C-alpha cells in the first residue's frame, strides 16, 4: 500500500534537551515579538518531563489580538517559520519550521487570557501531575503513529484529529479540577 518513501511518524523517548531547545527558541521569539508576546509557553508532549513525544518543540505564544495576523506573522517569517493556513486560524494560527517535514518547531498563537490559552496549559499541567493519564496518552499516540506516513501532511493531520477525543476528555477533567496552575 505504501511506497518506499513511507516513514512512520516517530514517537521518541523523552529527551531532557527539549527544555533547553524550548528556552533557546523562546528567547528568539521574545526578542522578535517584544511586548506583542504576552506569554510564551512550552506546551505539547515535549513539555511534559518523562513523556515520549514527536521530537517537535511546541510553543504557545499568547498575544492580545489575533488580528491583524501580519503583526506577529512577519517576525515569525524572519525567524524561519511558515504559516500553515487552517480553519483553526480564527482561534489558533499555526506556524512551523522548517518549511519541509520533518519540522523541529511548531508555534500556536492564541489570544492572551482566552479559552484556547487556558485549555492548552490545563492539558499540559494535568499531564505533568498525573503520570497515569500521561502514560495512557503515550500508549494512544504510539498506536496511532503506527499508521501515519510522516511525510504525508494529511496522515499527520489525521493523527492529530484521532487524539482529539482523549485530549478533550482530559481538558474537561483538568479545567474542572482548577487547572492550569500557571495562569
> pLDDT of 53-84, one tens digit each?
999 999 999 999 999 999 999 999 999 999 98
CB-based contacts of 93, cutoff 8 Å, min separation 6: 66, 69, 73, 83, 86, 108, 109
40 falls within a domain: yes
Query: Per-residue pLDDT tens for 19-51?
Result: 999 999 999 999 999 999 999 999 999 999 999
Pair 45, 56: CB distance under 8 Å? no
34 falls within a domain: yes
Query: Per-residue pLDDT tens for 8-27?
Result: 889 999 999 999 999 999 99
- CATH number of the domain encompassing residue 159: 3.30.460.10
6 falls within a domain: no
Per the structure, the complete domain to which residue 139 belongs is given by 17-176
The model's pTM: 0.93
Between the CA of residue 71 and those of 33, 34, 77, 113, 134, what are the distances in Å? 9, 11, 11, 19, 36
- Looking at the structure of the chain, the number of domains it has is 1
Amino acid at each position: 500500500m505504501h511506497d518506499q518513501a513511507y516513514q512512520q511518524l516517530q514517537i521518541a523517548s523523552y529527551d531532557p534537551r527539549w527544555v533547553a531547545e524550548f528556552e533557546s527558541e523562546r528567547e528568539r521569539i521574545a526578542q522578535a515579538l517584544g511586548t506583542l508576546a504576552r506569554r510564551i509557553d512550552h506546551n505539547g508532549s515535549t513539555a511534559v518531563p518523562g513523556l515520549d513525544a514527536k521530537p517537535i518543540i511546541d510553543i504557545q505564544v499568547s498575544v492580545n489580538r489575533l488580528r491583524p495576523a501580519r503583526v506577529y506573522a512577519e517576525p515569525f517569517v524572519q525567524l524561519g517559520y511558515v504559516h500553515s493556513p487552517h480553519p483553526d486560524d480564527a482561534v489558533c494560527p499555526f506556524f512551523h519550521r522548517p518549511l519541509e517535514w520533518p519540522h523541529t518547531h511548531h508555534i500556536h498563537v492564541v489570544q492572551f487570557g482566552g479559552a484556547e490559552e487556558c485549555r492548552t496549559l490545563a492539558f499540559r499541567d494535568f499531564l505533568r501531575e498525573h503520570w497515569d493519564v500521561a502514560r495512557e496518552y503515550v500508549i494512544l499516540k504510539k498506536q496511532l503513529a503506527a499508521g501515519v506516513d510522516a511525510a504525508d501532511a494529511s496522515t499527520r493531520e489525521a493523527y492529530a484529529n484521532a487524539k482529539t477525543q482523549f485530549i478533550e476528555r482530559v481538558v474537561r477533567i483538568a479545567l474542572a479540577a482548577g487547572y492550569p496552575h500557571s495562569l
